[in-house]
Chains A and B, each alone.
Chain A
Amino acid sequence: MKIAMLVPGLRPHDAVSNDVRGMSAALREDGHEVAVFAPHAQGVDEVVRAPEELSGWLDRRDGVLVYHYCVGWDFAFEAMRNTRARRVLRYHNITPPEFFADWSPGYVTACAGGRQELDGFAAMGCDLYLGASPYNNEDFTRRGVAPERCESVAPFHEIEQLLELRGKAERIPQGVPLWLTVGRLAPNKAYLELVDAFAAAVALDPARPPHLLIIGKLDPNLSLYGEALQARIAGFGLEPHITILQDADGAELRAAFEHATAMVMLSRHEGFCVPLVEAMALGAPIVALGSSAIPTTVGDAGIVWDSDEPHLVAATVARIGRDGELRANLRERGRARYADTFANAVLAQRLRRIMQRFAAP
């Protein structure tokens, strides 16, 4: 069967790009002919065709067009509407624009434009709505899409490659309790609230203050948010206790997870949150706010709260730091959940079962 993957762009170490490559590899292993179409591709080991070639390549009704929907893109919307092939909407979610109000008018416009396409895709009647999480599928069931047309498969990832690396810890703070969080510096990730919680932790134990390590990049278009984060850190006088690494490589990421007392994720909106799965695989206990897709991603493999009250988050990390039994229990749960639910082989098996519905035209 011919399967076309359509994606706005491919680049290394990007969650959507990893998913495209992982899905393509899994489907090729099942004997399907898979081609990837994208307007931009850099540094990825994948033959990429121009989107304009899509209609010529996929010209049969028994083919399948998989569109990775993560941003507004009118070309893809028209391609999905006009294709003769069967349609699969792989939905990675789009951050609601209100998170960017006061920080970036451009992000507000782009996110609003992207989410406006939700109504069109829901009305389009795709053959399958393949969310990265059950939470993502709610965007379509709320718009009248039948639940039997919705399935979820977690994103494919590069964690196997991360597990093969040797950790590089030169820039990783050591000898103190280490709070770790991973993700781009954006308002929906709630870094200001994270600093509040961290300040509470420092106030709890000023004699042996913990350290907060943030691994993630700041988009220059969100520079206002970066300035606000620096101001919040300075307001608490926490500069010596917080490190932000915007250029960490895989080896440093692995070392950070290995040295972390806990992976703290207070994000307000996540379509899936791959860093949580990285924490499970690499043995970092998880403390998270139960927003958006986070509860279904974490499951029973971490401590999830309905509140991000600073003292509650601080007390949770402090408890993990001094309670060896709890630490070992959470690590064991994380590794088990990764192996049983999120390993690429498990995802490939689930994808295979779902795609069987397209076996006969």
Chain B
Amino acid sequence: MEPSDDYLQRVKAEILAEAAAAQERAPLPRRDPPPRGNTTSALDACGIERNRLDYHIAELTGEQYVAFVEQAYRAILKRPGDEAGRNNQINHLARGASKAEILGNMRWSAEGRQVGVRIRGLLPRYLLAKLTRIPVVGHVIDWFATLAGLPVLLRHQRSADAVAAARFGELTAAMRAIGQRLDQLDVELATAGNAVAQLEQRVFGSAQLQQQPMDARLGVVETRLADHIRSVDELRHFFYAGNHWLTTVQRNFADLERISDEQRRRIELLVAGVNESPEAISARSDRHARWSAELGARLNPGARVLDLGSGDGSWLAALAARGIEASGIESSTPLAQAAAARSLAVAAGDPLAALERCSDGSLDAITLSAAGLCGGATALLRLFDATARALARPGWLFVRIEAEPRRPDSDIAADGARWQALLAAAGLDEVSLIESGEGSLVIARCMAAVARTSPSSQ
């Protein structure tokens, strides 16, 4: 044993003796055992059943939209939903994800696995939902699943028909009962009329005088009966019309979705074709050279730049030629593949989502090549939030306004002056607009401090 270890051994022996003496001198007071799990109530202060780990999928799919997502958080992750996560799940729903897919994503996330809730009936539905996400194969599976589900849909339709017919039968029976009741009333009225007549004859001898109001009352009853019968006819007509309308709406929605998908594919192919014409390439190269000079004046070689909506990557090539470390995200898969084939760092994906995954202060500049990406208020807010977080200080935001934007459907796609105003209003400084015949470039600097999240130890 080395001398240093001897030293520690000696110290430990001394401590052992001190501990024994301390135990004699100051024994610990008696302590109560800790509370155990089975002593707590089923619901905690947040209204969450923490000890319940077994559900059936039907229990979690009854609610809709926000209520569905919040219920899933509380059942699967045993906590209320956080704003970002809840919005993410709602966005998935809005994009057409099934409830089973949302539940499955939460259940088999790292956090969900840690909680370990069992949801009977979820796994096969989740697997099917995931299979339909596979490119090409998933589309085919989706078709087959839909075809396979047709008998179920028909069964549901027949079931609905049966329910409606049953309700109709109930209504008819009710009306028949009303009619019978009215018949009874008629009999009673007639009896009463006879009795009145007899009474009149016997007491006053004025039967004719009493008969008139009774006739009028009988007429009212007959009118009401006729109204009821007419209502039943109208109800039956409305039911048939509603059923027909629903069928038409379903067919129209299916047609619209198919046409929308086809149009999207055509637009992507057309955009790719137009961008690759020699005239377009030549004009773009000149424009990019001028604009990249503007960037070069503000950034040092080796600066880290993220380009959103990179198209075929020609803008990235211009940046790279200036020694800037640039990478890009393009939502069109054919364009992204074309850029990748040219050895440019362009990946296919959602540009705003990619920006949101960048770490704090990790970028020297962000270029927005497809201004039409931010056509809505939500997208603009996401862009500004993520930009303020991901840019270093100082950092630069460049918005390229093409003369012929790739997404002309967006109202600010080609409006440089409006972008200038928006960036200034968002708190960026040194906002400038460089205009030319073939488009314009909006440049803004980000200087404001950003709150950083605090790290934890483990």
Please measure, in the bound complex, the distance between the C-alpha atom of A323 and the C-alpha atom of B109, giving whole angstroms.
50
Please measure, in the bound complex, the distance between the C-alpha atom of A309 and the C-alpha atom of B23, giving whole angstroms.
10
Name which residue of chain B comes closest to A273, CB basis.
B458
Name which residue of chain B comes closest to A48, CB basis.
B357
- Return 12 A-B CB contacts under 8 Å, by A number: A48-B357, A71-B110, A71-B114, A105-B37, A107-B114, A196-B28, A220-B78, A221-B79, A249-B456, A311-B19, A316-B15, A329-B7
Distance from B246 Cβ to chain A, minimum over Cβ atoms (Å): 38
Is the CB–CB distance between A300 and B454 below 8 Å?
Answer: no
Name which residue of chain B comes closest to A8, CB basis.
B110
Segment at the interface with B among A59-67, A121-129, A131-139, A198-206:
A198-206
| B223 contacts chain A at the CB level, 8 A cutoff | no
Is the CB–CB distance between A110 and B35 below 8 Å?
Answer: no
Which chain A residues lie closer than 8 Å to B34 at the CB level? 192, 228, 231-232
Distance from B74 Cβ to chain A, minimum over Cβ atoms (Å): 11
| B249 contacts chain A at the CB level, 8 A cutoff | no
| A208 contacts chain B at the CB level, 8 A cutoff | no
Which chain A residues lie closer than 8 Å to B279 at the CB level? none
Is the CB–CB distance between A110 and B115 below 8 Å?
Answer: yes
Interface residues of chain A: helix, strand, loop or mixed (majority) = helix
Segment at the interface with B among A37-45, A144-152, A341-349:
A37-45
Interface residues of chain B: helix, strand, loop or mixed (majority) = loop
Spell out B's residues near A (CB within 8 Å).
4-5, 7-8, 11-12, 14-16, 18-20, 22-23, 25-26, 28-29, 31-32, 34-37, 40, 44, 50-51, 53, 78-79, 109-110, 113-117, 357, 359-360, 362, 453-458
Is the CB–CB distance between B37 and A45 below 8 Å?
Answer: no
Which chain A residues lie closer than 8 Å to B116 at the CB level? 105-110, 113
Name which residue of chain B comes closest to A189, CB basis.
B458
Is the CB–CB distance between B11 and A326 below 8 Å?
Answer: yes
Which chain B residues lie closer than 8 Å to A72 at the CB level? 113
Please measure, in the bound complex, the distance between the C-alpha atom of A311 and the C-alpha atom of B109, giving whole angstroms.
43
Please measure, in the bound complex, the distance between the C-alpha atom of A248 and the C-alpha atom of B15, giving whole angstroms.
33
Is the CB–CB distance between B22 and A40 below 8 Å?
Answer: no
Which chain A residues lie closer than 8 Å to B18 at the CB level? 315, 318-319
Is the CB–CB distance between A231 and B35 below 8 Å?
Answer: yes
Is the CB–CB distance between B456 and A315 below 8 Å?
Answer: no
Is the CB–CB distance between B357 and A41 below 8 Å?
Answer: yes
Is the CB–CB distance between B113 and A71 below 8 Å?
Answer: yes
Q: Which of A8, A13, A216, A227 contacts B35 (CB 8 A)?
A: A227
Distance from B356 Cβ to chain A, minimum over Cβ atoms (Å): 9
Task: Please provide the 3 A-B residue pairs with the shortest distance between their CB atoms, ordered closest to farther.
Answer: A109-B116, A228-B34, A249-B454
Q: Mark A260-283, 1 if CB is under 8 A from B, else 0.
A: 000000000000001100100000
Which chain A residues lie closer than 8 Å to B110 at the CB level? 8-9, 39-40, 71, 73
| A12 contacts chain B at the CB level, 8 A cutoff | yes
Is the CB–CB distance between A315 and B32 below 8 Å?
Answer: no
Is the CB–CB distance between B26 and A200 below 8 Å?
Answer: yes
Is the CB–CB distance between B362 and A247 below 8 Å?
Answer: no
Name which residue of chain B comes closest to A303, CB basis.
B12
| A253 contacts chain B at the CB level, 8 A cutoff | yes
Is the CB–CB distance between A309 and B454 below 8 Å?
Answer: no
Please measure, in the bound complex, the distance between the C-alpha atom of A236 and the C-alpha atom of B5, giving whole angstroms.
37
Please measure, in the bound complex, the distance between the C-alpha atom of A250 and the C-alpha atom of B453, giving whole angstroms.
11
| A289 contacts chain B at the CB level, 8 A cutoff | no
Please measure, in the bound complex, the distance between the C-alpha atom of A246 and the C-alpha atom of B455, giving whole angstroms.
10
